[in-house]
Amino acid sequence: MHLISTTQQLPFYRARYSHHFMQGVSALKFTLVLIIMSVMSYFLMQGLIFIQGKSERRAFEDNHAALERAISYELMSRGTRGETIMPDKLLKENPFQWLASKPLGWSGIYPASGQKKSGAWYWDNKKNEIVYVPKDPSLINFDDEKQSEIRLRLSLIGQGQATLLAANKYQWK
C-alpha cells in the first residue's frame, strides 16, 4: 500500500471542503450585512420621522406669522385710507383673503360635514376661527384629548395691530 503524503492530500481537501466553508462565510457575511442595514434603516426612519414633525411645526409657525402680518397690513391700510375699523366686523372676516398667496394646504371654508384633510388650513365662518388640521396629531398635545385640530382666533391688540390667539390649548411636542 502506498501512503499519500500530507502535501498531496491538501489539494483534494481544499477542493472538497473549501466550497462548503466559503458558502458558510458568504451566508454569515450576508446575514451581518443584512443586520447592519436593518439597524441603519431603523435609525434613518426615526430621523426622518423627527424631521417631518419639526418641518410641520415650522410650516405651521410660518403660516401663523404670515397671517398675523397680513391682518396687521390690512388694518394699517384701512387706517391710511381713513376707513373706520369696526372690530366686530373685522373679527368675522376671513383673514386668508388678505394673503398674497394662500398657504400650502389651504382648503377653503371649514367643512360642516365631510372629511377634513390632514395638513389643511380652513376658515370656520360659523365660529370665526382659523383651523389647522395637523398631518400627525400625535405631535401635538391637546388639553382636550378629543381635539385633533388647532383653532386660532383673531384678536385686536391695538391700533393697527392684531394677533392670532389659540382658541383651544395645544402644545407641540
Mean local confidence (pLDDT), 142-154: 90
User: What confidence tens digit (pLDDT) does each residue in 87-117 have?
Assistant: 778 888 999 998 888 888 899 999 877 788 8
pLDDT greater at residue 5 or residue 131:
131
Domain boundaries, the chain: 55-172
Higher pLDDT, 121 or 18: 121
Residue type, 91: L
Letter for the amino acid at 11?
P
Percent of the chain with pLDDT over 70: 83
pLDDT digits (tens, 9 = 90+) for 117-140: 889 999 999 999 999 999 988 889
Locus of grid cell 370665526: 128
| C-beta neighbour count of 160 within 10 angstroms | 16
pLDDT > 90? residue 20: no
pTM of the predicted protein model:
0.72
